[in-house]
Structure 1
Amino acid sequence: MLSSVSARAGTRKVILDDDGFALAQWMVIKAPDVQVLGVTTVTGDLWQKEATANALRGVEIAGRPDLPVYGGATYPLVNTEAQTERWEALYGKLVWKGVWMKHWVEPTRQALPPYHGPDVVPDLPQGNPTLEARPGRAADFLIEMVHSYPHQVSIIATGPLTNLALAQRLDPEFAGLAKELVYMGGSLNPRQTRPDEVAHQFAREFLNAPRREFNIRFDPEAASIVLRAPWARITMIPVDPSTDTELTPALLKRLSASATPVARALRTRPTGFPLWDEIAAGVWLDPGIVTRKTDLFIDVNTQFSGSYGDILSWTPGYEPGLGERRNIVVQKIDVKRLEDLMTQRVAAPQKPVSGRPLPG
């Protein structure tokens, strides 16, 4: 498979791998001195086909119809909806199950996405895309890009890690040829820091199960494969720093104040969510956002037990030595600096395509 993506000197090359498409991806696409090689989609919060439609519409809104979008994995490697329901019968209800979510266990402010099958693509709030995904699989595209630009490609993964696991199994050189992996996933020891009801509701996710997080729990086997792969550098964005953040109405008003297409698209976005993926994008764009970090060896529990999908971690020297990799774990961030960066990127003019200026 040959790619039409061409290299530009002096730019940071990146692939965005996600189960949706929103502000985090726009932050990277609109950043200066960044070359987005492509977008790959995976099932998680949305089924892969719906996530792909979101990504296609997202690159249209960003004024970047040239960016290739590749559909990826529809199902986790091992985990299934039936297995998840059996797990809940044995060990208790999960707060969030992504595409397998039929109802909330208790009342919550967040709306419940409609439950449907993997081939259903509902009409999108921002309009349906006119673009089509590129032929081929996300895993093959990922492999092609790291071979085309060895040790130059960063991967920002903000959904389940199924595509990356498939790429690693198809090509054992995959992770070693990448520059780095930045992933939003996992949970270590988060603390509710905001006093409002939104923070209280999201604390349900970690209050009694502090090592559980959806992106990892949805496909634990894939996560373990990826986290044991020979990346040169891995940065983990767990739930922990997100508890200081929230997309409040005031922040959304600030983000959507400009006249850019991205800002206009944000005006209907629901508020009341932590900035999970935005932190991952922000840390990659501006490492100075990080105010506290540590090094840990990370893996995932893949045993079918009450801790299935939970994060395992060790301080250096205590790891079992079965392929675990050292992660740079982000613990705290400068929230104001992140919000300022988000606002700057949303308000920035559209980046030109092939030297042609774009409006707004």
Structure 2
Amino acid sequence: MSTTRRVVVDTDTGIDDAHTLLYLAGRPDAEIVAITSVFGNCVEEDAVRNIGYVNRLLGLSVPVARGAAEPLSGTAHIARHVHGKDGLGDRGYDRPMPAVVGETAAELLVRLANEQPGELDLLALGPLTNLGLALRLDPALFTKYRSVVLMGGSGPYAHPGRLLMIDANVNNDPVAARAVFSAPRNELVMVGVNVTAVTILSEPAIAALRATGTPIARFATEILDSYLDFYQKEWGRRIIPLHDPLAAGILLDPGFATGAALGPVNVVGDGFLWRARLMRTVEGLPPSFPYEPAPDTRVITEVDSARFVNDFVATLTRS
């Protein structure tokens, strides 16, 4: 089997999603096979326009399919306050609608899996609506992907008294997320906010990107301002977590994950938010309430953040 990961990317193309596409395109062991759009960081129309913009910047020509503009149930929550109204920090980029295939995102995900079973990896970076729709078309879909890696979820239950960052992807479509975590699969990997929130692009790393001056590095830093504006309210510093890029990094190099647990994941609500959680306490015990059985998900619990951040910066600053 080839060591190159051939990746289908499902994305709500905001700032860290754009960074992820740049990172995948810069890694010699990755090939982007197709990209599908979904609502989330911005409305779906902006998400697909942003895919087109990044693809032109990269000189990338791959099939693009338009996906869901709203969740399977409920109302979409668009993260304009984080990613800007257009998803790329409102820099005024010319973003014409790209050419798209004549099938929906869900249909494309199903077709590619059936045409190339066991050869492709699916990387989900936004709300899981397209994946939920695809599972309605083919309930065995995930058994036909080499792996499914998603940025979302909250890991195991936290230490008592410790609160976690909101996981917008699961919260934006808990119905689809529940379908994803209950579906049969070869391998499903959850890279949640428990690990992405501590994988920080620091001031020196951002300065290194700014100093490079290549079109890729320049774009990567141009779109950061609204993201930095948001996260400085959390930490008092102009730094950001590498949410989506970390999921891509672990797909390509599982060694970036230094801790993981296997077990069932449920989507649970607290009256305000929905989260995907491994049904284990921090001590590794089952929770104190009944939960739904589900196939094992590989839930990342610890990462080598420093090594990943170094690789991310090196990849985006490579000529």
The answer on whether the counterparts of 1:186 and 1:212 sit within 8 Å (CA) in structure 2 is: no
Q: 1:173 to 1:327 in 2, by over 3 A?
A: closer
Quick one: distance in 2 between partners of 1:189 and 1:150?
A: 31
Find 1:98's aligned residue among 78, 81, 85: 78
Partner SS for 2:278: strand
Find 1:217's aligned residue among 171, 183, 195: 171
Match of 1:28 in 2: 24
The answer on whether the counterparts of 1:50 and 1:121 sit within 8 Å (CA) in structure 2 is: no
The answer on whether the counterparts of 2:157 and 2:279 sit within 8 Å (CA) in structure 1 is: no
Please list, as runs of the form range in 1=range in 2, the aligned pairs for 1:250-329 lying within 5 A after superposition: 250-268=204-222, 269-270=224-225, 271=228, 272-301=239-268, 306=271, 309-315=274-280, 322=292, 324-329=294-299
The answer on whether the counterparts of 2:201 and 2:309 sit within 8 Å (CA) in structure 1 is: no
Find 1:70's aligned residue among 65, 68, 88: 65
Match of 1:79 in 2: 74
Query: What is the CA-CA distance between 1:340 and the residue it aligns to?
Result: 1.5
Please list, as runs of the form range in 1=range in 2, the aligned pairs for 1:36-185 lying within 5 A after superposition: 36-64=32-60, 66-80=61-75, 97-99=77-79, 113-114=84-85, 125-129=92-96, 131-185=98-152
Query: What is the CA-CA distance between 1:171 and the residue it aligns to?
Result: 1.4
The answer on whether the counterparts of 1:255 and 1:342 sit within 8 Å (CA) in structure 2 is: no
Q: Which string of whole-angstrom CA distances, capped at 9 and with x for unpartnered residues, describes residues 265-314 of structure 1?
A: 11312233211111101111221111222222102137xx6165233432
Quick one: distance in 2 between partners of 1:129 and 1:80?
A: 27
Quick one: distance in 2 between partners of 1:243 and 1:122?
A: 20
Amino acid at match of 2:212: S
Quick one: distance in 1 between partners of 2:43 and 2:244?
A: 18
Q: Which moved more, 1:36-45 or 1:291-300?
A: 291-300
Aligned residues: 298
The answer on whether the counterparts of 1:297 and 1:327 sit within 8 Å (CA) in structure 2 is: yes
Amino acid at match of 1:113: G
Quick one: distance in 2 between partners of 1:33 and 1:341?
A: 13
Amino acid at match of 1:347: T
Quick one: distance in 1 between partners of 2:30 and 2:53?
A: 20
Structure 2: 5+ residue stretches without partners: 229-238
Quick one: distance in 2 between partners of 1:130 and 1:184?
A: 26
Q: 1:33 to 1:213 in 2, by over 3 A?
A: closer
Amino acid at match of 2:66: G
Q: 1:130 to 1:52 in 2, by over 3 A?
A: closer
Amino acid at match of 1:275: L
Q: Which moved more, 1:124-133 or 1:239-248?
A: 124-133
Query: What is the CA-CA distance between 1:328 and the residue it aligns to?
Result: 1.3
The answer on whether the counterparts of 2:257 and 2:303 sit within 8 Å (CA) in structure 1 is: yes
Match of 2:6 in 1: 13
Quick one: distance in 2 between partners of 1:236 and 1:60?
A: 30
Q: Which moved more, 1:121-130 or 1:174-183?
A: 121-130
Instruction: Determine what percentage of the aligned residue pairs are the same residue.
Output: 27
Amino acid at match of 2:306: K
Query: What is the CA-CA distance between 1:318 and the residue it aligns to?
Result: 5.3
Q: 1:112 to 1:212 in 2, by over 3 A?
A: closer
Query: What is the CA-CA distance between 1:137 and the residue it aligns to?
Result: 0.7
Match of 1:197 in 2: none
Query: What is the CA-CA distance between 1:217 and the residue it aligns to?
Result: 0.7
TM-score when scaled to structure 2?
A: 0.82
Quick one: distance in 2 between partners of 1:129 and 1:262?
A: 19
TM-score when scaled to structure 1?
A: 0.73
The answer on whether the counterparts of 1:18 and 1:41 sit within 8 Å (CA) in structure 2 is: yes
Q: 1:226 to 1:61 in 2, by over 3 A?
A: same
Quick one: distance in 1 between partners of 2:303 and 2:271?
A: 31
The answer on whether the counterparts of 1:44 and 1:218 sit within 8 Å (CA) in structure 2 is: yes
Q: 1:113 to 1:208 in 2, by over 3 A?
A: farther
Find 2:306's aligned residue among 319, 323, 336: 336
Q: Which string of whole-angstrom CA distances, capped at 9 and with x for unpartnered residues, describes residues 319-338 of structure 1?
A: 97855121111112112211
Give the root-mean-square deviation of aligned CA atoms: 3.2
Q: Which moved more, 1:136-145 or 1:291-300?
A: 291-300
Partner SS for 1:332: strand
The answer on whether the counterparts of 1:211 and 1:310 sit within 8 Å (CA) in structure 2 is: no
